[in-house]
Amino acid sequence: MKKAIVLLENGFEDTELTYPYYRLQEAGLEVDLVAEEADEVYQSKNGQKIRAHKAADEIDASEYDLLVIPGGQGPDRMRIKESIVDLVQDAVDDDLIIASICHGAQLLIETDLLEGKKATCYYSVRTDLENAGAEFLDQEVVVDENLVTSRHPGDLPAFMKETLHLLI
């Protein structure tokens, strides 16, 4: 069975976490919600509460096939948490499929993944994405090898279609 990590942090964008979470389960993947602390409850920017399954420092990225980074305010908080950044870098190093939407690029910037890649993100993160070495494309979904990126919640159908295409 294929396995996916969906990152979780306070301030996540509700649909950018729940839509991939349930779509991946529908596709037959085992999906772990991973945050800095296991069993802690995290709250979305709209008040939805979700409990983390596992802590980032408990995870071996090589046991997974996919890492999803939802947007919202969570990625900016995650990028300063060593265990989360280390997990994402391990996922990059292990060539997992990395699917990042909206502000998720803020966390990717902390890795060496973006250099020379084509990607997209929420428009306010564009300069940061480009400064990290990526070529910004204003498209609903951009796929560059194992990296899938999208701009905002309206892009979720295309985002998940391309992510699942790489997985299955």
As annotated, the active-site residues are: 102-103
Ranges of the chain with pLDDT below 70: none
Q: Which of 121, 141, 148 is nearest to 65 (CA)?
A: 148
What number of other Cβ atoms are within 10 A of residue 124's Cβ?
10
Task: Report pLDDT for 142.
Answer: 98
Task: Report pLDDT for 137.
Answer: 98
CA atoms within 13 A on the CB side of 17: 28
The widest CA-to-CA distance across the chain, in whole angstroms, is 38
Task: Report pLDDT for 135.
Answer: 98
Task: Report pLDDT for 145.
Answer: 97
**CATH code assigned at 85:** 3.40.50.880
Task: Report pLDDT for 168.
Answer: 86
pLDDT one-digit tens code per residue, 120-142:
999 999 999 999 999 999 999 99
Euclidean distance between CA atoms 82 and 137, whole angstroms: 29
Structural domains in the chain (count): 1
User: Which range of residues forms the domain containing residue 43?
Assistant: 3-167
Task: Report pLDDT for 133.
Answer: 98
What number of other Cβ atoms are within 10 A of residue 73's Cβ?
16
Task: Report pLDDT for 58.
Answer: 96
